[in-house]
Structure 1
Amino acid sequence: MTAQDFQAEKAIVRAHNTAIDAAGVEDVAGAMAVRVAPSYHWRGMHPFDALEGSDAVATKFWGPLKRAMGPLQRRPDIFMAGQNWVDDFATTWVVEMGHLMGLWETPWLGLGPSNRIAFLRYVEFHRVEDGRIAETATYLDVLGLLNQAGYQPLPPQTGASILSPGPRTHDGLLTDVHDPAEGRATLDLINAMVSDLVGGGVESPGDHMAKFWTSDMCWFGPAGIGASAFYRGYQRGHSQPFEEGLEYVRHNGHQCRIGEGNFGGFFGYPSLTVKNSGGYMGLPASDREADMRIVDLYRREGNKLTENWIFIDILHFLKMQGLDVLARLREYPRL
């Protein structure tokens, strides 16, 4: 791992996002083409999935979203960069997490709008190479947006339904140069925690929590699962239902894992394969294998993790079990 300040890569991503935000519905492809590679690869969540090239991403994702909710305000809470541990630090990635805010006034995904202010939670991982963005992974909390419009397609969640906050310390926008030793300390802690978690079948017993997490830790999960705080709240709101409801099949690894300053994280596309053998999320049990596309971002405090932001492609996870949530909502819309 070589010392690198990531300022050039961060500048490219910030300019890219600024151009997308300023572009009209018909101009997004051109705005994207300025800074993405000709062979640009985009990983999205259901129903977008993987797309190739800026034209496809603009046509299928950004254009329809802007048409429904634009103009969009980008409200980032975390911005960081680092070299990728997964490929032995050969590639550089820039990560941004926050909310896209708009006024949802026309249909999106075939579903009627709320006609109110709406927040779409997002995180993006961008691989920057030779002055261009070569690939992007975009994770969204689509269910959270639908909940704001009155759609409630799933049983009650075990965690709280909230507008996920940024870091408690309000220092997540790492636009300046940071001590690489701090980023490596964060990455080493994340690696140790993940190794321990996977080694235990992705369960979080008390000794795991005490070793890697502060007692006042916060876990900001996606809609359908919800948010939890502190050991007892995390156990009640997430880890216990997760462990009792799902049968662990395998960990598929990650495409990117980085750390900068006190922040770090990863994405897997997919990360886990499980079976919903115990009726997870209040849904009927199933013996089908289903994938979880997951993002985890973390804030480190000293030698422990203290905040965790999670994105899971729940719509994809459920569709693999035979439940197409979006299709059902289009067939049986809100009353």
Structure 2
Amino acid sequence: MNILEQLFENFSAAQLQNQALLADNVQWQVSHPFTPITSKKNVINNYFGVLKNSLPDIERKPFISIQGEYNKQQWVCATGYFTGTFVKPLCGIPPSGKSIFIRYSEMAQLENNQIVNVFTFLDLIDVMNQVGVNPLRPSLGYSGLIMPPSTLDGVLKSSKDSELSNTNQQLVIDMLSELGRYDGKDLYSINLEKYWHPDFIWYGPAAIGTTRGISGFREHHQAPFLKAFPDRGINKTLCLISHNNFVATGGWPHMYGTHTGNDWLGLPASGNKLFPRVMDFWRCENGVLKENWVAIDIPHLLNGMGIDIFEQMKNKIAAAN
């Protein structure tokens, strides 16, 4: 069990206050509409406390969790679900009184066996979907619960094979370089077939959805995104680590792009330059990429487009009543 799993074993504020795994000056950034949180006390009250208030019986269910070094820093990267009974509002989303699944993805920086920096995505649009209050159009891809790795070995207990890990990390780096070769006209100018398994699964965030195969990815995510952000590129990589067949990378923000194309998420172009926060978890298989779990802070992007999805949600609820 890595340090993140140890931290989340119990959501009790009293126990967390005494939790030596959290540095006193820890910095915790959570996807929109959360604002950056500083200090152990504030993290306990304004992150853990918020989740615990909405889901008193909250439980953490990771299905990928790896650790490694990037730029001489130690990182733990994980993705999975928080689950529990949704009894009180969460960021204005009305409770259902039923089980809820909150998809999370996170990267945590460690120093001296303490957590000092964390970046967390919570897929709140997916929560809106589960409650039935999402104001956006339906996802082009599949919407619903996503799957853990088909090999069921994402929460790694095996020792690290450095050669395999480095090979797969380079595979991801080379594939990301390939994505940057789009000629602005033809999606096939990007040779995904060289890097991706034909039955590749892209587990996208709510509002985009999950896609199957290279053609599904191109149709349901890549084409709309490239049309909307033709000048997109990498802003800064926060971390890039690997463990055997799993690779994690991301940034806060990780990309940049000017929103000049219409119809991404069914919305008109805003003309604004945006900085997507993105996190990816990859599973490699026999020298190609087989599965990809993707977190994108879409509420943050919408906010940059001048759209308050939480206000729109309230308006939708009011209109229904």
Q: Which amino acid aligns with 2:5?
A: R
Determine the structure 2 residue equivalent to 1:171: 153
1:285 equivalent to 2:273? Answer no
Determine the structure 2 residue equivalent to 1:311: 295
- Greater shift, 61-70 or 205-214, is seen at 205-214
Determine the structure 2 residue equivalent to 1:189: 171
CA distance, structure 2, for counterparts of residue 175 and residue 95 of structure 1: 14
1:96 equivalent to 2:78? Answer yes
Provide closer, same or farther for how the CA distance between residues 117 and 201 of structure 1 changes in structure 2, counting only shifts above 3 A: farther
CA distance, structure 1, for counterparts of residue 88 and residue 2 of structure 2: 33
Give the drift of 1:286.
1.4
Residue aligned with 1:247, SS: coil
Q: TM (normalized to structure 1)?
A: 0.89
1:270 equivalent to 2:253? Answer yes
CA distance, structure 1, for counterparts of residue 15 and residue 234 of structure 2: 36
Residue aligned with 2:249, SS: strand
Provide closer, same or farther for how the CA distance between residues 313 and 56 of structure 1 changes in structure 2, counting only shifts above 3 A: same
CA distance, structure 1, for counterparts of residue 183 and residue 27 of structure 2: 32
Q: Which amino acid aligns with 1:257?
A: L
Provide closer, same or farther for how the CA distance between residues 11 and 225 of structure 1 changes in structure 2, counting only shifts above 3 A: closer
Q: Which amino acid aligns with 1:14?
A: E
Equivalent residue runs for 1:43-82 within 5 Å = 43-82=29-68
1:330 pairs, out of 310, 314, 317, with 314
1:40 equivalent to 2:49? Answer no
CA distance, structure 1, for counterparts of residue 187 and residue 113 of structure 2: 41
**How many correspondences in the alignment?**
317
Give the drift of 1:201.
7.2
Q: TM (normalized to structure 2)?
A: 0.93
Determine the structure 2 residue equivalent to 1:16: 7
- Greater shift, 49-58 or 70-79, is seen at 49-58
Give the drift of 1:182.
1.4
Q: Which amino acid aligns with 2:162?
A: P
Residue aligned with 1:176, SS: coil
Q: Which amino acid aligns with 1:44?
A: V
Give the drift of 1:331.
4.3
CA distance, structure 2, for counterparts of residue 207 and residue 251 of structure 1: 16
Give the drift of 1:253.
1.9
1:241 equivalent to 2:224? Answer yes
Q: Structure 2: 5+ residue runs without aligned partners?
A: none
Equivalent residue runs for 1:143-154 within 5 Å = 143-154=125-136
Q: Structure 1: 5+ residue runs without aligned partners?
A: 1-9
Percent sequence identity over matched residues?
29
Give the drift of 1:11.
3.7
- Greater shift, 219-228 or 181-190, is seen at 181-190
1:223 equivalent to 2:206? Answer yes
